């Protein structure tokens, strides 16, 4: 449960520092004579005052709509503005700070007094007088008021480009990474030829095409479930997603479904189980099917918060009680997973009081926000007051985690008891609740706690008066809009620049398995500057891709394409080791280097071997770092011993199942060994060795995505492994001339192994499957 | 320990060190390979178990009893029980299952160290959990104590850091292992045998040996190449995970034949079997639903006894497994409950709470710190460990974590330094462990 009482929002507003700093030269403000034409000083301002203090602390309240919006210091945030607009905003922020730095009270700097909590500073103490942040402000005040400006204390440092010395994947390798990631398949020969000849342009076209394959939509649903976790709805969704109050007569339709034509009782029971299972699975998948529908049909991705429809299948339509009116619309009314968009009618309760308000007669759909799955996965309680939903809304749709970077309250317990309504009165509480609570109020008519009973329903006593009223970002929800409050919120969300940035970050998460960097907070960290640069560079890329996304009319594919073509996705290695701690810190998060999830690994095995392993599911998937969307919601990113053990089993078993099988097929049908006979032995003839090396090159390419020369170190090592195993076997007595029993099952033709070469190839494949090029992305 | 094993340990440490962004392994002999995994040194303790009462426990129903001012409806001040230096709330008549406070203190009071008046500073689950687990409120990067101690003391243990829930960040120092079910432990042992049957290996021994050697040689070669930090870290962790996983076979003999019913006991068996096998350093155990906004007393009377029963189970089983003297137990929650009841008979979040410790190097039968009659923290003098309104400090999670690092002997370890807590020397809790 998430109630908020004592936190500050550290990153409610994204402030961008890097992109426009170089554009900014002069603060056109009479209050800042010392700063005119002082590019070094203005650079110093943005590098020190702005990035380390103002953008981290001051702007939380000193902004329009913030708790200190009536104060003398109002700062502006930068979102997706163009270059000149950014420069203007930065100039205004600089000027605002200059003005404050010149103000004095009782002969002392007002700015320096306020920041330590004096002079009735509404936010109380922000910095301690002995902190680095305070010293930065102190220096700023000194410089601003200096009669003789200092010109060269901070000369411009010319840094090398951020990606200097970082090697990038070539287009072939990039294509392999992309097709495996997006569609779970290897690139075709035609595609590889195309990128070889057509370069980035061809790559863009191919990636666009890949994002229209069915497998991509599966990946899309899976990736976004990792974010929204809507598969994690508690209980049976036929009872929790569809409430008793509003779907009493239809939600359990499957219990009365006539399966009497199945004569065998056991078979009939199994059919009943399957019906229920598929119905529930379809219900849980509706929200992600909405996302899929939007992308598949090139609709603006803003519809995830504005869509005036939901997706239903023939099974879930029955649950909503709308199947009869829709059945002609389905291609196959018996398919539990064929989804079509539908606008539901306003909810009708078992008694009139529970009927839903609606000016149109329809349910006020607002994309994911108003789905029963979202409301059910993130429920409210009497004490929570929809704040969990509000928190998740900010996280999911605006990319703001209100809680994660909460700063410390000096004494939360005291604040709780000192004020009658701390969340509206205690400054350390207000700073968050002023933002959070209005959105909680937007959800006010979804005020039922027992999801088995209802999700929609008004609070009998009316909405809480000891909370900030319903609204968004300083705008009050008009009473006339209350019936469609979530739509009202969705419309504003879609226009908010933070939405585009959040979606860009989601796309990054989908591709890399991790979230973009956060700005460093510890300004005393010796590596602060390096970490700041890393964050700024990545932030610049996020914004650039987000702008393209907006310009495309919120076409989600532009996000995928943008990231895949970016240096962050291509980065693969270094030309020389990063030797300094600063450079290491800068590069710390560069490179995809993502351990594949159980689902991705199964798909990759299928892509390489033609069939999946089929064992990375259930408990094994959980052991291998998978999630259940309920208790376990974060995928493991590094392998521990348990996962290492599964990797060994996987490598052993997949090789066992596929090597002899591949050899048992006609060469033209083989995926692994199309050009070599299993009896070719190493060290017998030059031609034989060359053939073995070519086979290894092919295995490296197919399994690892490497393009090695036959005489490369890598191929040499694999060759030595192969030859060594064969040699060891020949030195042993009593070796069985056949593959192991388990590894010769299901062969299409006999595969003798007189010389142990088949088993040696199996050892080679096992070796390759254990490598990071296979297990990681 | 022979030289080969020593070199191997050194290599694996370097692997972990590379995870810290330090030197890449360079001393690896091409002749080293995972055949030696049978020689992997056992993690021989101490072992650390951190119990998390997830959701926020009501400390006034356990180690910080009040019975005044309407704080507790189930007992009065006069009913408060004593066991040695401890005072605790009575609950034998109200508990719903589990182990009563009375029985718990009677058996373990002499070993138990309690700190009351811990100031979480904030009172929201997510940041509080992070703060309590890591000692750092405003960073998402810091590792939990369990992960940190695992990284420092057993980076080459296959299941060095086990977690069953709660905040479990690792700071990229060590891999986190989730083994949610006891049978899973059997499943992951003997990975080189078909269906785990050691009589049916996938590869002949010489073939497997060559595979391992090829992987080791490649790893050694890669360690000499310039790599992106992420890749270097990943390759090291991957290699270590696969090689070390062989030691999981040691766990099998310690897996109990029957699976206990209690949820904490199930987690405990996995952790204890892993400790006993020498493949694990630390484990986060967790039970949830302490967030008693509605009907506080009912919930707490069910959950506190369940928690205590879990702790007792661990200690008893550790005794049977003969690792009790090596086991450090920490019991914590991310917050306390308010001194007053809300309209739903529940209690909301409270930023003052308590923590309990028990194990080697911890002098028991002691209570440090206090809250007043309103359940506010009294300042504590870090030098005398007495309440001191003049020179006392508000004891916060970073103070606890600094002390824990010192107790574990890892305060000066590189990993700890990388994630420094920056507690001023004057605020370090002197003699907390006795």
Question: Which residue stretches of B101-204 are H helix?
Answer: 101-108, 125-134, 145-153, 182-188
Confidence of residue B39 (pLDDT cuts 50, 70, 90): low
Q: Does position B383 have pLDDT exceeding 70, yes or no?
A: yes
pLDDT digits (tens, 9 = 90+) for B348-365: 999 999 999 999 999 999
A640–B158 CB contact, under 8 Å: yes
pLDDT at A15: 36
Confidence of residue B41 (pLDDT cuts 50, 70, 90): low
B361-400 residues touching A, CB cutoff 8 A: 374-377, 394
Domain boundaries, chain B: 1-32+190-250, 44-183+257-427
Q: What is the pLDDT of residue A148?
A: 59
User: What's the pLDDT score for residue A572?
Assistant: 95
Judge whether B227 and A573 are in contact, CB under 8 Å.
Answer: yes
Contact A381 B217 (CB under 8 A): no
Higher model confidence: residue B216 or residue B19? B216
Question: Residue A171 class from Cβ within 10 Å (0-12 exposed, 13-18 middle, 19+ buried)?
Answer: buried
Q: Report yes or no: A627 at the B interface, CB cutoff 8 Å.
A: no
Inform me whether the C-beta atom of residue A403 falls under 8 Å from chain B C-beta atoms: yes
pLDDT at A410: 65
In this prediction, residue A33 carries a pLDDT of 46
The predicted pLDDT at position B155 comes to 86
Separation CA A294–CA A286 (nearest Å): 12
Residue of B123 and A671 predicted with greater confidence: A671
pLDDT band at A22 (very low <50, low <70, confident <90, very high): very low
pLDDT value, residue A451: 67
Instruction: Say what the pLDDT of residue B5 is.
Output: 46
Contact yes or no for A653 and B124 at CB 8 A: no
Give the least confident one: A134-148, A329-343, B371-385: A134-148
Pairing of strands B47-53, B327-333: parallel
pLDDT value at A644 more than 70: yes
Which B residues 330-349 touch A at CB under 8 Å? 338, 342-344, 346, 348-349
A80-89, A473-482, A648-657, B105-114, range with the lowest pLDDT: A80-89
In three-state secondary structure terms, A678 is coil
- CA dist B250 → B10, B42, B163, B189, B402 (Å): 22, 10, 20, 8, 33
Distance CA A287, CA A312 (A): 9
- Chain B closest CA to A696's CA: distance in Å? 14
- Predicted pLDDT at A2: 41
Q: If you average pLDDT over residues A418-446, what whole number do you get? A: 90
Mean pLDDT score, B52-77? 97
Task: Tell whether A716 is within 8 A of chain B (Cβ).
Answer: no
Confidence of residue A5 (pLDDT cuts 50, 70, 90): very low
Range with the lowest mean pLDDT among A110-114, A153-157, A512-516, A689-693? A153-157
Q: HEC states along A325-358?
A: HHCCCCCCCCCCCCCEEECCECCCCCCHHHCCCC
DSSP string computed for B64-112: S----TTS-SS--GGG-EEETTEEE---TTT--SS--HHHHHHHHGGG-
| Of A571, A538, A588, the residue nearest A166 (C-alpha) | A571
Size of interface A-B (CB pairs under 8 A): 285
Separation of alpha carbons B420 and A60, rounded Å = 27
Q: Write the pLDDT tens digit of every residue in B282-331.
A: 999 999 899 999 899 999 999 999 999 999 999 999 999 999 999 999 99
Cis status of the peptide bond prior to B46, with omega within 30 of 0: yes
Q: What is the DSSP secondary structure assignment for residue B380, as one 8-state letter?
A: B
pLDDT digits (tens, 9 = 90+) for B155-207: 888 899 999 887 899 998 998 998 888 877 777 888 999 988 888 999 999 99
pLDDT digits (tens, 9 = 90+) for A194-248: 999 999 999 999 999 999 999 999 999 999 999 999 999 988 999 999 999 999 9
What is each CA distance from A315 to A250, A273, A320, B273, in whole angstroms? Answer: 11, 14, 9, 46
pLDDT band at A407, cuts 50/70/90? low
Task: Give the model's confidence band at A39: pLDDT under 50 very low, under 70 low, under 90 confident, else very high.
Answer: low
pLDDT on residue A587: 97
Say whether pLDDT at B103 is over 90: yes
Shortest CA distance from B24: residue in chain A = A577
Query: Is the pLDDT score of B375 beyond 90?
Result: yes
Name the average pLDDT for chain A.
Answer: 90
Per-residue pLDDT at A270: 97
Fold category of B44-183+257-427 in CATH: Alkaline Phosphatase, subunit A (3.40.720)
Q: Please give the biggest Cα pair distance in chain A.
A: 98
Output the pTM of the full model: 0.88
Interface of B with A in 64-83 (CB under 8 A): none
Per-residue pLDDT tens digits for A735-751? 999 999 999 999 999 99
| Range with the poorest average pLDDT among A10-14, A130-134, A488-492 | A10-14
Does residue A281 surpass a pLDDT of 60? yes
Mean pLDDT of B366-377: 96
The pLDDT tens digits of the residues spanning B251-287 come to 888 888 888 989 999 999 999 999 999 999 999 999 9
For residue A315, report the phi and psi dihedrals to the nearest 5 degrees: -75, -50
At A405 the pLDDT is: 53
| Length of chain A as a residue count | 777
pLDDT of residue B98: 97
Which residue in the set A417, A572, A767 is minimally distant from B211, CB to CB? A767
Least confident of A382-386, A403-407, A759-763, B243-247: A403-407
Say how many C-beta atoms besides its own lie within 10 A of residue A555's C-beta.
Answer: 18
pLDDT tens, position by position, A494-525: 999 999 999 999 999 999 999 999 999 888 88
Answer whether B194 touches A (CB < 8 Å): yes
Chain B residues touching A645 at Cβ < 8 A: 158, 188-189, 191, 242, 245, 248
pLDDT above 90: percentage of residues in chain B:
74
Q: Looking at residue A149, what is its pLDDT?
A: 53
Contact status, residue A166 vs residue A138, Cβ threshold 8 Å: no
Number of C-beta neighbours around residue A669 at 10 A: 11
Shortest CB distance from B126 goes to which of A403, A735, A743?
A403
Partners of residue A632 in chain B, C-beta under 8 Å = 178, 180
C-alpha span between B371 and B248 (Å, rounded): 46
B161 to chain A: which residues are within 8 Å by CB?
Answer: 640
How would residue A709 be classed by pLDDT, with cut points 50, 70 and 90?
very high
Contact predicate B154/B41, CB 8 Å: no
Percent of chain A beyond pLDDT 90? 68
Helix (H, G, I), strand (E, B) or coil at A527: coil
**Residue A772, helix vs strand vs coil:** helix
Give the model's pLDDT for residue A13.
Answer: 37
The Cα B228–Cα B21 span in angstroms is 10
């Amino acid at each position: 449960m998430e109630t908020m009482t004592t936190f500050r929002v550290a990153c409610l507003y994204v402030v961008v520092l890097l992109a426009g700093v170089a554009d900014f030269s002069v603060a056109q403000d009479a209050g800042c004579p010392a700063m005119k034409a002082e590019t070094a000083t203005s650079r110093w301002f943005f590098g020190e005052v702005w990035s380390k203090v103002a953008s981290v602390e001051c702007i939380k309240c000193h902004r329009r709509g913030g708790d200190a919006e009536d104060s003398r210091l109002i700062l502006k945030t930068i979102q997706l503005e163009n270059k000149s607009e950014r420069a203007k905003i930065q100039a205004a922020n600089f000027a605002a700070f200059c003005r404050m730095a010149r103000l004095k009270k009782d002969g002392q700097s007002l700015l320096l007094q306020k920041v330590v909590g004096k002079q009735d500073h509404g936010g109380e103490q922000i910095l301690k007088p002995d902190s680095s942040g305070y010293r930065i402000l102190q220096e700023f005040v000194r410089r601003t008021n200096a009669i003789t400006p200092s010109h060269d204390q901070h000369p411009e440092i010319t840094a090398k480009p951020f990606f200097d010395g970082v090697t990038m994947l070539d287009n072939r390798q990039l294509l392999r990474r992309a097709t495996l990631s997006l569609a779970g398949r290897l690139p075709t020969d035609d595609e590889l030829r195309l990128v070889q000849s057509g370069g980035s342009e061809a790559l863009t076209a191919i990636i666009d095409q890949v994002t229209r394959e069915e497998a991509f939509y599966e990946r899309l649903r899976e990736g976004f479930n990792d974010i929204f976790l809507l598969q994690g709805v508690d209980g049976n969704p036929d009872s929790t997603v569809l409430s008793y109050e509003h779907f009493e007569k239809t939600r359990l339709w499957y219990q009365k479904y006539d399966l009497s034509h199945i004569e065998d009782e056991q078979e009939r029971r199994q059919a009943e189980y399957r019906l229920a299972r598929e119905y529930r699975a379809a219900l849980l998948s509706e929200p992600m099917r909405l996302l899929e529908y939007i992308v598949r049909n090139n609709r603006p991705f803003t519809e995830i918060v504005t869509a005036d429809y939901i997706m239903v299948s023939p099974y879930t339509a029955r649950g909503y009680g709308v199947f009869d009116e829709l059945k002609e619309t389905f291609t196959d009314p018996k398919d539990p997973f064929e989804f079509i968009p539908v606008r539901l009618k306003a909810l009708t309760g078992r008694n009139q009081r529970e009927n839903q308000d609606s000016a149109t007669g329809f349910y006020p759909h607002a994309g994911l926000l108003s789905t029963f799955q979202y409301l059910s996965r993130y429920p409210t309680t009497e004490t929570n007051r929809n704040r969990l939903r509000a928190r998740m809304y900010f996280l999911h749709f605006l990319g703001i985690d209100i809680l994660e970077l909460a700063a410390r309250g000096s004494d939360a317990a005291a604040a709780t008891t000192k004020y009658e309504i701390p969340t509206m009165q205690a400054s350390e509480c207000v700073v968050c609740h002023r933002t959070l609570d209005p959105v909680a109020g937007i959800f006010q008519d979804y005020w039922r706690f027992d999801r088995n009973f209802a999700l929609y329903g008004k609070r009998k006593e009316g909405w809480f008066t000891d909370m900030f009223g319903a609204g968004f970002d300083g705008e009050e929800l008009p009473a006339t809009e209350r019936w469609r409050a979530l739509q009202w919120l969705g419309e504003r969300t879609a226009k908010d620049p933070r939405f585009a940035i959040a979606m860009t970050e989601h796309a990054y998460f989908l591709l890399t398995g991790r979230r973009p960097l956060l700005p460093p907070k510890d300004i005393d960290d010796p590596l602060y500057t390096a970490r700041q640069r890393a964050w700024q560079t990545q932030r610049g890329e996020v914004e650039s891709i987000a702008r393209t996304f907006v310009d495309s009319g919120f076409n989600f594919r532009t996000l995928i394409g943008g990231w895949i073509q970016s240096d962050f996705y291509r980065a693969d290695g270094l030309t020389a080791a990063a030797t300094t701690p600063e450079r290491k810190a800068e590069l710390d998060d560069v490179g995809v280097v993502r351990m594949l999830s159980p689902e991705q690994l199964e798909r990759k095995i299928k892509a390489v071997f033609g069939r999946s392993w089929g064992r990375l599911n259930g408990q094994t998937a959980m052991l291998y770092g998978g999630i259940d969307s309920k208790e376990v919601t974060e995928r493991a990113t590094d392998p521990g011993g348990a996962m290492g053990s599964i990797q060994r089993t996987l490598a052993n078993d997949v090789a066992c199942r596929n090597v002899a099988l591949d050899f048992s097929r006609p060469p033209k049908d083989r995926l692994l060994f199309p050009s070599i006979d299993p009896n070719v032995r190493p060290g017998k003839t030059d031609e034989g060795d060359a053939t073995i090396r070519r086979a290894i090159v092919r295995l490296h390419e197919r399994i690892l995505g490497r393009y090695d020369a036959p005489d490369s170190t890598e191929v040499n090592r694999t060759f030595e492994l192969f030859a060594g195993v064969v040699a060891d076997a020949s030195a042993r007595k009593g070796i069985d001339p056949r593959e192991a029993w388990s590894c010769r099952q299901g062969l299409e033709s006999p595969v003798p192994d007189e010389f142990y070469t088949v088993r040696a190839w199996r050892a080679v494949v096992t070796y390759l499957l254990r490598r990071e090029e296979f297990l990681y992305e | 320990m022979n030289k080969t094993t020593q070199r191997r340990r050194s290599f694996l440490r370097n692997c972990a060190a590379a995870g810290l962004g330090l030197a890449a392994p360079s001393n690896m002999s091409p002749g080293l390979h995972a055949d030696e995994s049978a020689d992997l040194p056992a993690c021989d303790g101490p072992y650390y178990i951190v119990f998390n009462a997830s959701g926020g426990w009501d400390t006034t129903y356990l180690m910080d009893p009040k019975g005044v001012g309407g704080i507790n409806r189930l007992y009065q001040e006069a009913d408060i029980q004593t066991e040695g230096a401890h005072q605790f709330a009575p609950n034998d008549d109200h508990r719903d299952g589990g182990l009563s406070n009375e029985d718990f203190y009677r058996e373990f009071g002499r070993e138990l160290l309690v700190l009351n008046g811990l100031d979480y500073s904030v009172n929201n689950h997510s940041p509080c959990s992070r703060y309590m687990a890591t000692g750092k409120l405003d960073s998402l990067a810091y590792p939990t104590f369990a992960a940190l101690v695992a990284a420092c003391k057993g980076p080459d243990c296959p299941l060095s850091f086990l977690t069953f829930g709660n905040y479990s960040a690792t700071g990229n120092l060590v891999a986190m292992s989730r083994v949610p079910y006891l049978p899973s432990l059997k499943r992951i042992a003997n990975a080189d045998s078909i269906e785990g049957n050691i009589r049916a290996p996938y590869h002949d021994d010489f073939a497997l040996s060559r595979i391992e050697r090829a992987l080791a040689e490649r790893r050694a070669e890669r360690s000499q190449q310039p790599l992106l930090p992420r890749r270097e870290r990943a390759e090291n962790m991957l290699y270590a995970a696969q090689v070390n996983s062989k030691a999981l076979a040691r766990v099998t003999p310690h897996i109990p034949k029957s699976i206990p019913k209690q949820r904490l006991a199930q987690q405990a068996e996995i952790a204890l079997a892993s400790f006993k096998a020498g493949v694990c350093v630390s484990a986060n155990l967790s039970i949830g639903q302490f967030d008693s906004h509605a009907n506080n007393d009912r919930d707490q009377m069910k959950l506190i006894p369940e928690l205590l029963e879990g702790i007792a189970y661990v200690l008893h089983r550790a005794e049977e497994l003969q690792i009790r003297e090596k086991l450090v137990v920490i019991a914590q929650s991310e917050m306390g409950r308010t001194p007053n009841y809300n309209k739903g008979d529940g209690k909301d979040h409270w930023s003052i709470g308590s923590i309990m410790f028990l194990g080697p190097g911890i002098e028991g039968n002691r209570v440090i710190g206090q809250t007043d009659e309103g359940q506010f923290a009294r300042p504590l003098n870090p030098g005398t460990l007495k309440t001191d309104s003049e020179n006392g400090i508000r004891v916060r999670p970073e103070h606890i974590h600094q002390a824990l690092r010192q107790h574990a002997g890892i305060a000066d370890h590189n990993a700890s330094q990388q994630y420094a807590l920056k507690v001023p020397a004057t605020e370090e809790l002197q003699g907390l462990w006795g």
